[in-house]
Structure 1
Amino acid sequence: MSSSTVRTVTYDLLRQLGLTTFFGNPGSTEETFLKDFPADFTYHLALQEASAIAIADGYAQATGKPAIVNVHTAAGLGNAMGNLITASLNKTPLIVTAGQQTREMLLMEPWLTNVDSTMLPRPWVKWAYEPTRAEDVPAAFMRAYATAVQAPAGPVFLSLPLDDWDKPCNGPAVVRTLGHRVAPDLDRLKEFADILSGAKSPALIFGAAIDRGNGWADAVALAEKLNAAVFAAPASERTPFPEDHPLYVGGLPFATGPLSDRLKGHDVAIVIGAPVFRYYPYVPGPYLPEGMRLLHISDDPGETSRAPVGDSLVSDAVLATRALVELVKPGAAKATPAALPHRMAPHPACHPEDAPGGKDGVHTAADVFAALAEVRPDHCVLVEESPSNLADLHRWWPITEPQTFFTFASGGLGWNLPASVGIALGERDTGRNRPVIMIVGDGSFQYSLQALYTAAQSKLPIVYIVLRNGQYGILKSFAVLEETPGVPGLDIPGLDIVSLAKGFGCEAERISDLEVLKARVKAGFSGPGPLVIEVPITNDVPPLI
């Protein structure tokens, strides 16, 4: 009999793929997989599976490599689903594994069986599989890896019966290499380049794929060659272009009519690395202003096929942008676009004293952001989950370096706090050690609060700024737009943010004085672990669009 087991062959495969960092919350059906956990592997414990998924997502985005998440059969996968949706829309390569009951009992569906195991995570995984034979487990991991990293990247799922691991396996596993970038059809791209070169007023709309693919320099080169206005795609989860660049004119709104209005005056627009378009509130209007032609480039055929307007090309966003730089003609005669009034970019006159003031001694969110901008360290990574204050945040904290802004592509609360933990772990493991700050609303803070435990246990010097206005501000903004007064459950009094954070092992305090806040934040970036600061702000309700 072979001395190799399914477990030993699988762990050897994972070593060769560089997948030695696990995230999870173990259960009884996972313990056989984790038995005698190898000394050269690392396991990061999360106290709930939603946090485990998001921590792994943040880690994968920070390191640029896939990550493994281990959750507990059907119950754990159910807990994880909200953040699995976000990982899917983030296009993050994750290998999500869950234990399954013993094969000998599956027919009876005993307690904790994952019934129809491959169906539960759909449609939010690219591939879901439960190996037919124990000896197929290593090859299933290889296929899972290949599927996760190939374009469009995303999570995959393996259901693994708990009695498979000690079964004999004729190893070693077959390890394959593969490419993960899709080159453009050059003839089609030349057509796009000719259309852009002939435009009187082209607009470039860049999406998160530019940042994921390290394409800032290419995006800037294309914008400058065309002398074209640059927008960020609506609700972009990563910043695709320097927000202090003179050609940047802001993020597009995520509603049909307002988005069309923002694009007026442009005869051609090209969306690169984002959907067409990410909408949320229904505000009627045309998809595009009259007379505009839309072009679209994405490595995701699902995005290109469901776009309601535009001519599409399937390609890696950065490879296509780089090629367009060579193909388009210079646009020297075109006028440099003027900044729009609600441009999400810094203004030369922005100083803390210019920020709008609060009332009754309580500061506005803008006051807080202006103060934080004064003590912003070099190369700081910002993680954001304060949707009602996003416009003010970008005005006072413009993103000027690649891979320094992260938020959720799904809009589902509870991803960003644990993701900040994974991002900080990634900064540590890559040796970059960039400081990490998270801006989060008091409502958002509650969704994956358990992730603070992982941050504290790992001694990660993350600074959390919790804006305390005692309400779901974004929902009140929707209530104004939708004309729905009297909706219950939009106020959240009685929360003690400081006590909650201390209970998970973090340093925490409540600060209302902005000078004190600035000093504490500066110290927090070099502290021994996570620091949570609750900052009271006014309960103003900003406009949604």
Structure 2
Amino acid sequence: MAENKTVHDVTYDLLRELGLTTVFGNPGSTEQTFLQDFPEDFTYVLALQEASALAMADGFAQSTGKPALVNLHTAAGTGNAMGSLVAAYRANTPLIVTAGQQTREMSIIDPYLNNPDATEFPKPWVKWSYEPARAEDVPAAFMQAYAVAMQEPKGPVYLSIPLDDWHKPALGPAVVRTVSQRTAPDGERLREFADRINRAQRPLLVLGPEVDRAGGWDAGIAFAEKLGAPVRGSALADRVSFPETHALYAGPMPMTIAEVNQVLQGHDLVIVIGAQVFRYYPYVAGDYLPQGTELIQMTVDPHLASAAPVGDSLLGDVRIGLEQLVDLIDTPVGRQAPTPLDRDRAVRTSATSEPLTADEVYATLATVKPDDSPVVMESTSTMAELFQWLPTTRSGSFFATGSGGIGWGVPGAVGLALGDRERGVDRHIVATIGDGSFQYSIQAIWTAAQHKLPIVFVVLRNEAYEVLKSFALLEQTPNVPALDLPGLDIPSLATGFGCHTADVKTTDDLASEFKLALDADGPTVIVVHTQPELPHLG
């Protein structure tokens, strides 16, 4: 037995050894035995709600490339965090999510704040869910949680820990282990794929979020340039994996089965790397592939490989796969260069008395945003305008929710900024957020203000859930209620949480306030009045 050491002591020693010294949470009664005597070399990031705490940890882990530790409050806190947990799972973010549990002695009588089925609650949105059978197993459970979270496909894991476990004597020091975090694709199957690529006359390449997450940005460019084929991104991507200004780039994939089929017309082989086949959303029927078109997929995720409705799949780390595949394919002879994407259309402008168009907002931001500033996107009705005027040109520079649920963007931006600070990167985060989305996690801007984070939140105030109005048209569901958002005084709310604020109605004011925000000591919330504009869905 470790001399005079408790489970609490040994677990903190392990967390320190694993580099997990930042804890995201909102402390509740069942976590205080874990948080007691909080070490000076650890940092506790306070969020004002558990959904924000988990999304902040998600952004932090995506910035640092390391797992993050989240501490939730039993069933109630876990319930609050579930939406953000879905996003982390879909984005393959490695998180160790812990929740305090009532004492073991009282568990059988189901006391207040008990979580009787703690390990079932977060499923299926975690890779592993566990409550140690005895207090002495808590450190080993953390070590296993780390190993599971960091093995591909990475993702969140969940530990439920009774509050009285932390005071129990430890059996000894925790065993620290290492595990492989990358798995190479099968070499023989990779060569088969290369042969099919070499035989293709009119291939299309799709590079999805896994490529950027795996550090494969440069490998993707090298492969695409040797292939000489048009490149598309995933629909509704949470990461961008190819420069959107590159001559080979042809835009993101559409969201419906029918429109995907149209895009694939004329291609004899579709090469999908690091993406789902495909990320569909509204249902518009059609054939998955045009006649005469074949498809191959490389992904690290067995679920995405098994869920693909067509094509042949290869499992493995996509960066390793791209680096090997580029040497296996031939430089094509006589392949015609794809038609460059047209980015020369005019900005849709507003009349003097009207709110700004989304075009005007993003075109203005393009003139003032620093080149190294990443964008966090959660204005679902203006995705096309952001792509047109504010394209992603470098790795680790675009982030969005992995699940499609709104409320991730604001705390996700906070986590990214904290992660940048952790790794010594000095840059501003630019978060373009819809006015409806901003309300979901508005309390996260308090954390940004407390830490004086370099974030510019640009809130597009169109006073509506405009994307839902597009769905109402697509789905032929007239007279849907509650799609308008009048009466929100967002600048006053942001001021109350401690942020610099601005309320703008012209492009000149937007540019001026954005420049001031870059010099501000802490976050700024810029509310931009915009026109309601229906986005295209399919």
Q: Counterpart amino acid of 1:542? A: P
C-alpha distance in 2 between matches for 1:298 and 1:38: 40
C-alpha distance in 2 between matches for 1:325 and 1:385: 34
Match 2:491 to one of 492, 495, 498: 498
C-alpha distance in 1 between matches for 2:469 and 2:319: 38
Structure 2 matches for 1:423-502, cutoff 5 A? 423-502=416-495
In structure 2, the residue corresponding to 1:159 is in which secondary structure? strand
Q: Deviation of residue 420 (structure 1)? A: 0.1
Q: Deviation of residue 147 (structure 1)? A: 0.2
In structure 1, the residue corresponding to 2:527 is in which secondary structure? strand
1:211 aligns with 2:195: no
In structure 2, the residue corresponding to 1:165 is in which secondary structure? helix
1:414 aligns with 2:425: no
In structure 1, the residue corresponding to 2:44 is in which secondary structure? strand
In structure 1, the residue corresponding to 2:250 is in which secondary structure? strand
Q: Deviation of residue 90 (structure 1)? A: 0.5
Q: Deviation of residue 542 (structure 1)? A: 2.5
Q: 2:375 touches 2:431 (CA, 8 Å); kept in 1?
A: yes
Q: Counterpart amino acid of 1:435? A: H
List per-residue Cα deviations over 1:91-146 (Å, max 9, x = no partner). 00000000000000000010000111000000000000000010000000000000
In structure 2, the residue corresponding to 1:433 is in which secondary structure? coil
List per-residue Cα deviations over 1:375-401 (Å, max 9, x = no partner). 111211100001110011011001001
C-alpha distance in 2 between matches for 1:332 and 1:505: 60
Q: 1:382 touches 1:438 (CA, 8 Å); kept in 2?
A: yes
Q: Deviation of residue 544 (structure 1)? A: 1.8
C-alpha distance in 1 between matches for 2:498 and 2:221: 43
List per-residue Cα deviations over 1:339-397 (Å, max 9, x = no partner). 456xxxxx2x46xxx31112443210110100110011121110000111001101100
User: Comparing 251-260 with 134-143, which one deviates more in the overlay?
Assistant: 251-260
Q: 2:470 touches 2:535 (CA, 8 Å); kept in 1?
A: yes
Q: Counterpart amino acid of 1:394? A: F
Alignment-derived partner of residue 47 in structure 1: 48
Q: 1:388 touches 1:544 (CA, 8 Å); kept in 2?
A: no
Alignment-derived partner of residue 140 in structure 2: 139
Alignment-derived partner of residue 508 in structure 2: 515
Q: Counterpart amino acid of 2:422? A: D
In structure 2, the residue corresponding to 1:30 is in which secondary structure? helix
List per-residue Cα deviations over 1:173-209 (Å, max 9, x = no partner). 0000111111011100000001011101111111101
Q: 1:227 touches 1:332 (CA, 8 Å); kept in 2?
A: no
Q: 1:19 touches 1:67 (CA, 8 Å); kept in 2?
A: yes
Q: Deviation of residue 332 (structure 1)? A: 3.6
Match 2:371 to one of 367, 378, 382: 378
After TM superposition, the runs of 4+ consecutive aligned structure 1 residues lying more than 6 A away are none
Structure 2 alignment gaps of length 5 or more: none
1:357 aligns with 2:349: yes
In structure 1, the residue corresponding to 2:411 is in which secondary structure? helix
Q: Deviation of residue 170 (structure 1)? A: 2.3
C-alpha distance in 2 between matches for 1:295 and 1:10: 45
Q: Counterpart amino acid of 1:62? A: S
In structure 1, the residue corresponding to 2:392 is in which secondary structure? coil
Q: Deviation of residue 525 (structure 1)? A: 1.8
The count of aligned residue pairs is 536
List per-residue Cα deviations over 1:149-194 (Å, max 9, x = no partner). 0000000000000001110002210000111111011100000001
Q: 2:255 touches 2:537 (CA, 8 Å); kept in 1?
A: no
Alignment-derived partner of residue 23 in structure 1: 24
Q: Deviation of residue 471 (structure 1)? A: 0.2
Q: Deviation of residue 434 (structure 1)? A: 1.7
Q: Counterpart amino acid of 2:339? A: A
List per-residue Cα deviations over 1:242-290 (Å, max 9, x = no partner). 0111001000011111011111111101111111111110011111111
1:159 aligns with 2:160: yes
List per-residue Cα deviations over 1:310-330 (Å, max 9, x = no partner). 101111111111111000011
C-alpha distance in 2 between matches for 1:284 and 1:491: 30
Alignment-derived partner of residue 241 in structure 2: 240
TM-score (norm 1): 0.97
Instruction: Give me the CA root mean square deviation.
Output: 1.0
1:11 aligns with 2:12: yes
Alignment-derived partner of residue 303 in structure 2: 302
Structure 1 alignment gaps of length 5 or more: 342-346
1:100 aligns with 2:101: yes
Alignment-derived partner of residue 528 in structure 1: 521
C-alpha distance in 2 between matches for 1:426 and 1:332: 45
In structure 1, the residue corresponding to 2:27 is in which secondary structure? coil
Q: Deviation of residue 46 (structure 1)? A: 0.3
Q: 1:226 touches 1:332 (CA, 8 Å); kept in 2?
A: no
In structure 1, the residue corresponding to 2:167 is in which secondary structure? coil
Q: Deviation of residue 513 (structure 1)? A: 1.8
Q: Counterpart amino acid of 2:487? A: G
Q: 1:6 touches 1:134 (CA, 8 Å); kept in 2?
A: yes
Q: 1:66 touches 1:92 (CA, 8 Å); kept in 2?
A: yes
Q: 2:239 touches 2:400 (CA, 8 Å); kept in 1?
A: yes
Alignment-derived partner of residue 344 in structure 1: none
C-alpha distance in 1 between matches for 2:439 and 2:65: 28
Q: Counterpart amino acid of 1:197? A: N
Structure 2 matches for 1:27-106, cutoff 5 A? 27-106=28-107
